[in-house]
Amino acid sequence: MILIAVGNTRTLLAYSEDGLHFQSISVATALHPTHILQLWEQTRPLLEDEDFALGGVVPEAMQRWRETLPPGRLREPELAVFQQRIPNSYVPAESLGFDRRCCLLATARDFPTQSSIVIDMGTAITIDLWADGRFQGGRILPGITMSIHALYLGTALLPDLELPMTVADTGNTTAAAIQSGVWHMFTDALLGAIQQFQGLFPDAQVLLTGGDAPLWQARIPGSHYIPDLLLRGFYGWLQSSS
């Protein structure tokens, strides 16, 4: 079965036999599914009777996938299964994002009794708390690229930039000042959330995932980077829905 996880910016296609190790590609969500499948076949040829599983956070893109894939070979995870496995008070239940659900499912499976702060750093950044056997709630922040781009769009003269792996504490050019400001804004936001959540659950570990997570691991002492956390949760969700 091919897993298809549709994100705001990137879509993951992945295959796994054990739910722990994945063969995957990451492509632009804006691409048409037919093109994405052609790219996937360069990695792993599709079987004639290949099944697919679809989840994501972009309704229009997901509808394109539904129209492209054979209906009898497409599965989508069931919300009721998530609700049963992850006790929570989120309102309304269906508004909790697919990516957050997957990461929580993987965390609950791997660390059922360990309090965990799950930070997913993608187009948006989510900071979710798993503790006392339930999802306690979380926070949503704009992502790093989105924040830098917003400065560019909302001003007349500020440039559009990318964030480097390291930045100075202060900047002596406009570009360096933007990079330093965004870098330290997110560092403070993440460390502040961790401190507050660990004030509630002192044993809480910190799990990092998402495309921008490697930038921050060194800045968050004791954190654990789990690149396939979403895919592991997606895979387990489907197994429970069988």
> Which CATH number do you get for residue 50?
3.30.420.40
Q: Is 91 annotated as a binding residue?
A: no
Distance from C-alpha of 66 to C-alpha of 54, rounded to nearest angstrom: 8
**118 and 143 fall within a common domain:** yes
CB 103 within 8 A of CB 230: yes
Is 107 labeled as ligand-binding? Answer: no
- Do 130 and 53 lie in a common domain? no
Task: Provide the residue-wise pLDDT of the chain in tens; the chain has 242 residues.
Answer: 999 999 999 999 999 999 999 999 999 999 999 999 999 999 999 988 899 999 999 999 999 999 999 989 999 999 999 999 999 999 999 999 999 999 999 999 999 999 999 999 999 999 999 999 999 999 999 999 999 999 999 999 999 998 776 788 999 999 999 999 999 999 999 999 999 999 999 999 999 999 999 988 988 999 999 999 999 999 999 998 76
Q: Which residues pair with 116 in a beta bridge?
A: 130, 205
Considering the domain architecture, whether residues 148 and 48 belong to the same structural domain is answered as no
Alpha-carbon gap, residue 31 to 13, rounded angstroms:
13
191 lies in the same domain as 221: yes
Residues spanned by the domain of 14:
2-76
- 3-state SS, residue 149: helix
Determine if residue 138 is labeled as part of a ligand binding site: no
Pairing between strand 124-131 and 116-121? Answer: antiparallel
Domain end call among 43, 76, 109? 76
Residues 231 and 130 in one domain: yes
Provide the 10 A C-beta neighbour count for residue 238. 20
Query: Which residue type, as a one-letter code, is found at position 128?
Result: D
Question: Domain check: are 72 and 97 in the same one?
Answer: no
Length of the chain counted residue by residue: 242
Is 152 among the annotated ligand-binding positions?
no
The C-alpha atoms of residue 175 and residue 155 are separated, in whole angstroms, by: 14
Q: Is 196 helix (H, G, I), strand (E, B) or coil?
A: helix
Question: Is 27 a known ligand-binding residue?
Answer: no
- Per the annotation, does 218 bind a ligand? no
112 and 69 in a single domain? The answer is no
Whether residue 29 is found in the same domain as residue 109? no
**Positions marked catalytic:** 99
Q: How far apart are CA 230 and CA 5, in angstroms?
A: 9
Q: In sequence order, which residues have a C-beta less than 8 Å from that of residue 20 and are 6 or more positions away?
A: 228, 232
Per the structure, the count of domains in the chain is: 2
